[in-house]
Amino acid sequence: MAETTISVGGYIATRLQELGIKEYFAIPGDYNLTLLDELLEFSNMKQLYCCNELNAGYAADGYARAKGLAAVFVTYSVGGLSILNAAAGAYAEELPVVFVSGAPNTNAAAKHHLLHHTLGTIDFDYVREMFAKVTVEAVTVRRQDEAAGQIDHAMGQALLHKKPVYIEIACNIAGLPITAPTCPLVVPKFETCPQALDRAVSHALELLGKAVKPVIVAGPKIRAWNSIESFQKLVDASGYAMANMPSAKGFVDETHAQYMGTYWGSVSSPGCGEIVESSDAYIFAGPIFTDYTTVGYNLLLKPHNLISVHPQSVMIAEAIYNQVQLSDFLTALAEKVIRNGASLIAYNRIRGEAPPPAEPDSSSEITTRYLFSQIEGMLDQNSSLITETGDSWFNGMHMKLPKGCRFEIQMQYGSIGWSVGATLGYQTAVAGRRRAIALIGDGSFQMTAQEISTMIRYRLNPIIFLFNNGGYTIEVEIHDGPYNVINNWNYSGLIEIFNSDCSTRCLALKVRTAGEIKEAIAQAQAFDGLCLIEVLIDRDDCNKNLLKWGSYVAMANGEAPLRF
């Protein structure tokens, strides 16, 4: 029986389709046009075109957050290097994104041909070499007989490590026939060593058994490593007071009786930081401790009280247990842990929730505190908050999310402008099931504003709150200067520019007062299309925790060089 054949481009499409990809992002260029043609043969997958490569990468980032995998296609060098920053962000945030680039004809190097879109040398490997620094696998497909194996290997590595990969395909290879896949993609996986697991659990039980008020904290890795369910099992079994790190907000149920809030050192939710840091044992599941998440390395945690559970290891005080998977450890510990609700009792004694702001006169200027209280009131189980780097982090962090509501933040990489493209990708992935609500500052928005036109083009319906305060507020609080001031735009007026033929219904509003924001939110909730609400706020009206956090981060940045 003859084997079914398919093109190299079709092979990629088949594998992506098998893995649940229904949409992917693309920027055309002459080195990838044949590849895009081959992909278009798969009519049940949608090819979405962005305004530039960086934004397409951000869109893939957002899509991967919702779907667990994303793909984006660009042309060689000028396209690949433009998207490189987004690839680095996906790597930092542990998002499996397949970055695919066209490449020069396989004969070009042998014929010593200088080519456009290159550095003007005969070295055509430099793009792949650059991507190798920000991916877990970077391959160049130059032979049709090796194409399937290289593609399968790269995709398997993305899913194994929860990181992006780079696949470069020569332009004269993309359309050549190869054997179609006959079996599902084999995805390698890490295995837990039973003996190491038993020893780790026994040691953890010993430490926890001696503790008076143990607590448990969710870190950002629990989502990438499919450990949210096992984390919740341990929470329920232990009775411990539970919190999340800022980069893990939205990963756990904030309506749960044991939930304290966000643990973020000195800028934690009221009462949460005090309970965590006064505890005599704390389990951190999938944490990432950086200058941002530790408020400039100022957490008051004692290493000998810490159980830190990582994707493939567990650290208990100074002991390290390797070959132990995050989910396996949490599940095994849940089966044996002794219930102890002392930390929750302590938290309930001191918890202090700020009262909602008094209802202002409808003509009063909007304050950020009132504004975010109104946005919090919009949220339901079908909402997803996407928060841009800046004051939106701190205001969004202290919102109480209803069960089922999701929250997205790029805290590890913190690339300003990320949220516009991420909103595009995320809303694409959840269309018809969820509605993204994006919180974006004006400085960030100016970096990637073009993708509003892509949202309009594909009739997506996020609600975007654009905070117009004239600059980069987060940078102001870390280190101010004239470079933090931006040229003001008529942001709400951009909708008319991006939708010149008015073929798609959009809503654009500009608000200044308390009464106007309430009316704008009501209109947005009733409108099934893209909504942009430009909110004019005072430049110095920011969350108080940003002021404190900014001071600590600035202090860490300004630490004097070590002298030996």
- The tens place of each residue's pLDDT in the chain, 564 residues long, gives 346 999 999 999 999 999 999 999 999 999 999 999 999 999 999 999 999 999 999 999 999 999 999 999 999 999 999 999 999 999 999 999 999 999 999 998 888 998 889 999 999 999 999 999 999 999 999 999 999 999 999 999 999 999 999 999 999 999 999 999 999 999 999 999 999 999 999 999 999 999 999 999 999 999 999 999 999 999 999 999 999 999 999 999 999 999 999 999 999 999 999 999 999 999 999 999 999 999 999 999 999 999 999 999 999 998 999 999 999 999 999 999 999 999 999 999 998 776 777 888 999 999 888 999 999 999 999 999 999 998 889 899 989 999 999 999 999 999 999 999 999 999 999 999 999 999 999 999 999 999 999 999 999 999 999 999 865 555 555 556 676 778 899 999 999 899 877 777 899 999 999 999 999 999 999 999 999 999 998 766 566 666 666 676 677 777 778 776
**DSSP, residue by residue, 416-440:** TTHHHHHHHHHHHHTTTT-EEEEEE
Q: What phi, psi does 496 have (nearest 5°)?
A: -65, -35
What topology is assigned to 368-550 in CATH?
Rossmann fold (3.40.50)
Determine the Cα–Cα distance for residues 394 and 267; give it in Å rounded to an integer. Answer: 9
Q: What is the pTM of this model?
A: 0.94
**CATH superfamily of domain region 194-350:** TPP-binding domain (3.40.50.1220)
Stretch(es) of the chain classified as CATH 3.40.50.1220: 194-350
Domain covering 5-179 assigned CATH 3.40.50.150 in the classification: no
Q: Which long-range contacts (CB under 8 A, 24 or more apart) does 395-398 make?
A: 395/368, 395/371, 395/439, 395/543, 396/249, 396/372, 396/439, 397/246, 397/249, 397/262, 397/264, 397/269, 397/545, 398/261, 398/262, 398/269, 398/372, 398/543, 398/545
